[in-house]
Structure 1
């Protein structure tokens, strides 16, 4: 027996097997429901259940509060249908959804971008080139079946610039991390890894004329970089302001790259923000919390779109404060970089 899941307002439908999460069923059938971590930790897949019954699995209260659950909201990443269900979801994609593929990837290059950020360049199979939207991510499938997610830092049109298909990832060293310890201490060029993707609903909505706020903390810059490359390639001239935050100036590891883009993209503005500069850094720029910097410049965000990526605390704070500043909730697009430690915490 399967259950029919209907998504409004698009009226698209798909089938869910008993015990299968709504998100997994949607992905399997090419229905692009919004999502982020897939582990009940970030809240990106939250949507309203209009009818039917859904059994929720373990999740964090910051992703879905008891009050929201009482109001009929669910998380599709851990929700399993026990009847036919009607959902309300604003981001269901259609023709633009790309198939998810599992494939081998060869380590082509390792480059230190800062003391704790590595650029990992992967060569993908040439006979079945992956398609993705700028802003999406892939998952590494480790030998024990565990998965680690990282956003592509280069736009799709750059995939074949080197001849063979290549994607760049920005990996931050997490001391003791099962995957990042290997990347920083033992990984060698030509090593073969297993990946799957593309995943995620974080990508630029090209059909809007609204000015854009791009908000990044740390390596949350990776998918933002891909979006900037996409905007330049597509000739998108919407006004856009990038706010990129780090603790110290060296955390803005591609600061020079951004400044080079400013000369090519007159509609792009860049505001670097440092929260914990030391005297020896000689920092003369903006300070404090990066998401607050945007509010200092835009008291009213009602006419904007926001694309936010980085630490969950930054994304969650921005979502709350920007809506308070008039931003329509449906114009806040986010990808919180949820670590294994984040998922394990309540």
Structure 2
């Protein structure tokens, strides 16, 4: 942890519940086990919380008896070195015998002291170290963003029965677009061509850019500029691939920076379909985009999405590789 923090120099705080101590209990028990009650994400207490330094957290009591306390650091050390951990040692000091006795005493009551304590310590530690995780796992330098949606955990779920997110905007589609998401394309709830994402104008005027799944299980991206000026990149039979119904880095790049426009569809940073052509992109104004359906809220798709990044121009190969690494570190299961 200290080595990872050398560059960022963050000051960590570990939040625990302000639990009562043995001296606060009217009748002194043989043992007071705090266990999961230390974790404020599992139990809220009227006494509030404490934000501790690492040293204070390691010294936080987990078990209290009239003869002494078992601290967080004691539990970690005992589990690693004495209780079958990677550095197992059957020998016991007097203090370790006391910890072993507490473990045995609670086990008779059906309470696993080590398991509960280690899970609690891990949860509190992960919350406390989240600033370091976020500092290390930063987005690469990207072109200006049109949108960025992200959940810290879980996913947005679109059932394909009319759910969608819609946002008004004002954007000139001059250089193109780069759409990048962690998406799980699922079996569609309704037949026909279903829309995962669409950018354009609600009055139907061009341009219009769409990511879709068709009835045959293919995945595609399309860009319409005039009635006779369009591009479409389609991966046939996507449903038959190993990436179907799994969270995958799905992306497409629309490049309008040269006289010949191009549209590339990518899965896990690999181009799986592409199209090129001459299009009239002079009227590139768009005023709305929709996630989960088309611009008028129809043809909704069934999928889940964890994070979506839409940049206002195509990504260079090196930048896309960095973005793929960012996605993998943040979202790989």
Choose 1 or 2 for highest CA Rg: 2
TM-score between both structures, scaled by the size of structure 2? 0.21
TM-score between both structures, scaled by the size of structure 1? 0.21
Structure of higher RCO (CA pairs closer than 8 Å, 6+ residues apart): 2
